Structure 1
Amino acid sequence: MPLNRVRDFVKKFDPELEPIVFDQEMKTSMEAANVLGVEVGQIAKSILFQSGETFGLFVAAGDVRINTKTVKSLLGKNPRMTSPETVERITGFRVGAVCPFALAADIPIYIDPSLSRYDVVYTAAGIPESLLPITFEKLVQITNGTLIPATCEDTKS
């Protein structure tokens, strides 16, 4: 089960980390923020991009849009968001529940600093009903993610 895979993975890094499981599904950053009563920016969205056979998982605050120019500079020409089937094959998680660690395939993780403005952020934890509260620093550590320059665009503008 994906939730157990996430639970087991985070326990190796910090026994205090524990996914929160809710009664309802939260498939978008906005839905998750509403359930938690936090800003949408505190929800870490994880989006899988592909350029040819090269993949990268981009993690950013829920209130920003990932800049495709940055994705292109990191993955190569003609990057695109992957299909739901490819997301599940590469990450091991369904769209709406993609956790940025405990992935099925070894791919690079790129973390946008847009999340660093919060003391705690919430990642998906493998199923649409779960979220994992985590600090930005621990997120970077656990994912072994590469911090990228501020590449996202605020969706409010």
Structure 2
Amino acid sequence: MAIEAVKAYFKALGREQDILEFAVSSATVELAAQAAGVIPARIAKTLSFKREDGCVLLVTAGDSRVDNAKFKTEFGCKARMLTAEEVLAATGHAVGGVCPFAIDNIKVSVFADVSLKRFETVFPACGSSNSAIELHCDELYEYARSEKWVDVCKDWQG
């Protein structure tokens, strides 16, 4: 189970006890916000895109949308999302619980979008459709082993 891998990952970081497991689904931004008791924008959603050499995981604020032109400029390819089966194969996490943690696939590159930086803390999933963890943005960046901060989203500036 993916959440077990994420728990082991965070246990090594001394943070396993910080994983939240909800009695309700957190599989969408709206459901996760309700479960965590925060606004949807503070949910750190992880989106998966195809790339010639593997895939890009983009962690972004819950209220943002990918800007296709910015994405192409940053990554040199069109923003084409993976299928549910491809996401599971690449990350080990099923749609609804996809997160940038406990991923051992060297063909997966993680990037954090600047849309997250307006919040002190955000809530990414933890490998299941009813889990999350509250992290400072710098912690998210570090624990996700992000390659860099990018600016590839729109509709979040207000």
What is the TM-score normalised by the length of structure 2?
0.89
Per the alignment, residue 90 of structure 1 pairs with 90
Show structure 1 runs of 5+ residues with no match.
Answer: none
- RMSD between superposed Cα atoms in Å: 1.9
**Is residue 144 of structure 1 aligned with residue 145 of structure 2?**
yes
Per the alignment, residue 103 of structure 1 pairs with 103
Per the alignment, residue 7 of structure 2 pairs with 7
Any conservation in 2 of the 1:17–1:132 contact (CA below 8 Å)? no
Amino acid at match of 1:60: T
**Is residue 43 of structure 1 aligned with residue 43 of structure 2?**
yes
**Is residue 29 of structure 1 aligned with residue 17 of structure 2?**
no
What is the TM-score normalised by the length of structure 1?
0.89
1:71-115 deviations in Å (ceiling 9; x for gaps): 323433333001000000001001110011112412110101111
* Shift in CA distance, 151/43, structure 1 to aligned 2, threshold 3 Å: same
**Is residue 135 of structure 1 aligned with residue 103 of structure 2?**
no
The alpha-carbon deviation at position 37 of structure 1 amounts to 1.9
Secondary structure of the residue aligned to 2:6 is helix
The alpha-carbon deviation at position 68 of structure 1 amounts to 2.0
The alpha-carbon deviation at position 149 of structure 1 amounts to 3.7
Q: Which moved more, 1:8-17 or 1:38-47?
A: 8-17
Amino acid at match of 1:132: I
The number of aligned residues is 157
